[in-house]
Chains A and B, each alone.
Chain A
Amino acid sequence: MAEFVMNPADEVLLDPIRKTGAGFWFALAGLLTMVGFGAVAYLTQFVNGLGATGLHEPVSWGFYVTNFVFFIGISHAGTLISAILRLSKAEWRRPVTRMAEVITCMVLLVGGGQILIDLGRPDRLLNVIQYGRYQSPLLWDATSISAYLTASTVYLYLPMIPDIAILRDRTTKYNFLYRVLALGWRGTQKQQKILNRAITIMMVVVIPIAVSVHTVVSFVFSMTLQPMWHSTIFGPYFVVGAIFSGIGALIIAMLIFRKAYKLESYLKPIHFQYLGQLLLVMSLLWFYFTFAEYLTAYYGGEPEEMKVFFSKFTGDFRWEFWSMVGCNFIIPMACLTSLKKNPIPRVLTASIFIVIGMWLERFIIVVPTLSNPRLPFRLGSYMPTWVEWGEFTGSLGVFALFYLLFTKFFPVISIWEIHEGRHEGVEEVMHRVKSYLPDDAEHAPPPQQQPVAIAAKAVVP
C-alpha cells in the first residue's frame, strides 16, 4: 500500500481522539475516585503496617495474592489470544487484537503492583535484586512477568505504528508525540514487509512467554508442601483459568467501547459469537481441570488434603466454592451453548460471571489451604478489611483508567488492519481456501464465476 487512502467510514475510529464528550469526563471522575480510594487505603497500610488488613496467622496471604493471580490471569487475554488469532490467520481477529493487547499491558502493571502492595517492607524491594535467590519461585515470577510485559508492550506497539502515522498525518492534537512514535512510517512496501516480519516474530515469541507466566505464578503455590497446593497440574490449570478469565474481561471491554465509541459496525455480533464459543471451550476445559484436581485429592483421601477439601465443599468456604462453580461452569453452559441469534447479551452475562467466578477461584485456592494448617494450630477466619477492598477497587480503577487514557491517544481498533482486511484479506482468504482443496480445483475454470461455486465444484469428483 503505497499511498494510504483511508476509507471515510473508518473516520469513526479516530473520533475518540479528536473529540471528548461528557461521558469521558464522567468516566474519568468515577475512575479517579476509585483510584483515590485505593490511594487512601494504601497510605493507611503503608503508615500503619499490614496490620491494617485482615491478615493474621495462619492466613498470611489473602486479597493481595488473590488479586495478583487474578490480574496476571486477565493479562493472558490479550497477547495470547491476539497472537493465537493472528497465527491461525483468523480473519475475524482484525477489530479484536488491539483491544486484547492493550488489556495485557495495562493489567500486567496492575498485577505486578499487587506484589508490591502485599510486601511488609516495600522500601526493601530492591533487596530482590541485590540479594536475589533464584531458588525462590517469586523470582521466577519476576523474571517471567517482566519478560511478558516487555514482549507484550512491543507486540502492542508494532502493529500500532501505521496507525500512529495516520494520526500524525491527520490530526493536529499531540502531533509531536505521533511524529516521534511513528518512527518515520511512510507505508512503503519495504517498511510493510519489515513490519509484518517483526509482528510474526513477536507473536511466536509471546506465546511461550505468556504460558510461562501463569505457570510460574502457579508454582508459587505448587512448589510448597501445603495440602491442595502441592499439585502437578497447577501450571496448566492456572494457564487455562487465565485465558478463560482473560477472554471474559476482553469481551466486557469490547462491549463497553462498542457502546461508548459507537463501534457497532466493527464489532459485530459474529465477533461475539466466536469469542463466546471460545469462552465455552475454555469453560469446559476449566471444569475438566477442576474436576481432575478435586477428584484426585478426594480419592486419595489424605487427611490433610481432606481438611482443605471439605472446608471448600461443605465448610467455611462453601459459599465461595459453589458460587465459583456456578459462575465458571453452570452459567456459562446455560448462556453459551446456543449463540446463533442475538449472542451479545448472553455472551456479556457469561463474561461478567466468569470474571467474578475466576476471582473466586483464585481466592478459593489461596485462602482455604492457609486456613487449615497441618498442626493443631489456632484457627481463625479471614475477613478482609476496608483497606483490602480499597486497594482492590483502586487497582481496578487504575487498570480502567490506563485503558481509557489509551483510547484517547490511540485508536482502539487497528485502522490499517481493517483496511488491509478490506483490500487484501478477502482475496487472500479466497486463495487460501482454494489451496486447501484438491489440486484439480486449480484447473477448474472461470474466474468470473463465484468463488463459492468453484469450491463446490471442486469437491465433486
Chain B
Amino acid sequence: MALWGMVIDLDRCTGCESCVLACKAENNVPAVGATEAEKGRVLSWMEVLSERDEENGVTRFIPRPCMHCDDPPCTKVCPVYATYRNPQGIVAQIYGRCIGCRFCMAACPYNAKFFNWYPYQKEAPNQNPDVSLRPKGVVEKCTFCHHRLQKARENAAAEKREVAPGEYNTACAESCPAQAITFGDLSDPTSEVARLAKSPRAFRLEAALGTHPKVIYLTEGEGRG
C-alpha cells in the first residue's frame, strides 16, 4: 500500500509563497480579513515560516504543511475520532464530526492545525467543488490534497488499472516554480520522493519528538550553512 509523503528542498525554496496561494485556491481556504488576521487567526494550511540565521547572515524559509506524522500526537487526543491516520498515512480530518475542543491544536508540535473561529467560509463562485466547505467551530488542516487522490483512484478504477505514479500530486508541489516540493509514494523505492528522502541532506522537523513526520526536508547546501 502506498505511503504518501513529501520532500521539501530548502536549498531550492525562495520563499515566494506560491505554494501557500495554490493551497488556498485548491482547498477553498478562506481569507479571514484584515481584522481577524491581525488577531492571529489566518488560516493557512501551507505556511512559509521564516527564521533568521544570524551566524550566516541569511533568512531561512521553511514551508510547513501538515507533517502527516506516522505517530501523530493530534489523533491520539481527539475525543471523537474526528482526526485519524488513514492506512495510506494521510492524517485526515472529519469536519462533520469535530466538536471543536481544539485539543489536537494544543497537542500538535508543528502548529499545523487551524480553527474556524467565525464562519469564515461562505459559498462563493470559483470554489473547488471537490473540497468540502468547513463550518464555524471546527478544526481544519492540510490533507495532502486528498480529494486529488480520490479523483485519481476513480479515474484509474474506470480504466481498470492502478493509480499511476505522478497521477496524484498536491497543489503546492505542482505550483512551486523552483521545484522545491516533491510529492509521491514513500513506500515505492523507485519513486523520486523515496530517492530524495534517502539523501544525506534529509532531516525531519522536531525528529526527536518521535512523531515520524512524512514531510522530509533537505537542508540547504554548504554555502548556506
Interfacial residues, chain A to chain B (CB-CB below 8 A): 48-51, 53-61, 115, 118-122, 124-125, 127-128, 130-133, 135-139, 142, 220, 223-226, 370, 373-378, 380
Contacts and interface: CB of A to CB of B under 8 A. Distances in A.
A397 B103 CA distance: 27
A36 to B, nearest CB: 24
Smallest CB-CB A-B distances: 7 pairs: A120-B100, A120-B137, A51-B117, A380-B40, A56-B40, A51-B118, A136-B79
A374 B39 contact: no
A445 to B, nearest CB: 69
Contacts of A225: 73, 107, 109, 209, 211
Contacts of B36: 51
Nearest to A57: B40
Contacts of B51: 376
Interface in B16-38: 36
Contacts of A61: 102, 106
A223 B139 CA distance: 20
Contacts of A374: 109-111, 206
A50 B115 contact: yes
Given A56-B39, A56-B40, A374-B206, A124 B81 contact: no
Interface in B88-124: 97-103, 105-107, 109-111, 114-119
A164 to B, nearest CB: 39
Given A50-B115, A224-B107, A373-B111, A124 B99 contact: yes
Contacts of B73: 224-225
Contacts of B201: none
A133 B80 contact: yes
Nearest to B49: A376
Contacts, number: 144
Contacts of A132: 79-80
With a 10 A CB-CB cut-off, give which of B36, B62, B80, B118 has the most chain A CB atoms. Answer: B80
Contacts of B41: 51, 56-57
A138 B103 contact: yes
Given A120-B98, A137-B103, 16 more contacts: A50-B137, A51-B118, A56-B40, A57-B41, A60-B115, A121-B100, A127-B97, A128-B79, A131-B82, A133-B78, A133-B79, A138-B103, A224-B107, A226-B109, A375-B205, A380-B40
Given A121-B137, A375-B64, A138 B107 contact: no
Contacts of B142: none
A378 B114 CA distance: 13
Contacts of B76: 135-136, 223
Given A51-B117, A376-B49, A137 B77 contact: yes
Contacts of B187: none
A130 B77 CA distance: 16
Nearest to A220: B103
Contacts of B136: 49-51, 120
19 contacts: A57-B41, A57-B111, A57-B115, A115-B101, A120-B115, A121-B100, A121-B137, A121-B138, A124-B98, A124-B99, A124-B100, A127-B82, A127-B99, A132-B79, A136-B77, A138-B79, A220-B103, A224-B106, A225-B109
Contacts of B42: 57
Given A118-B101, A223-B77, A49 B119 contact: yes
Contact of A49 (B49, B116, B139): B116
Given A375-B62, A376-B50, A60 B79 contact: no
Nearest to B64: A375
Nearest to A50: B117
Contacts of A57: 40-42, 105, 111, 114-115
Contact of A60 (B98, B106, B137): B106
Contacts of A125: 99
A385 to B, nearest CB: 10
A226 B138 CA distance: 22
Contacts of B100: 50, 119-121, 124
Interface in B192-225: 205-206, 209, 211
Contacts of A142: 79
Nearest to B103: A138
A374 B209 CA distance: 11
Contacts of B139: 120
Contacts of B97: 124, 127, 131
A306 to B, nearest CB: 16
Contacts of A115: 101
A125 B79 CA distance: 10
B79 A377 contact: no
A61 B137 CA distance: 14
Contacts of A223: 76-77
A436 B3 CA distance: 71
A376 B79 CA distance: 29
A50 B137 CA distance: 7
A133 B106 contact: no
A301 to B, nearest CB: 15
B118 A49 contact: yes
A55 B99 contact: no
A252 B89 CA distance: 54
B117 to A, nearest CB: 4
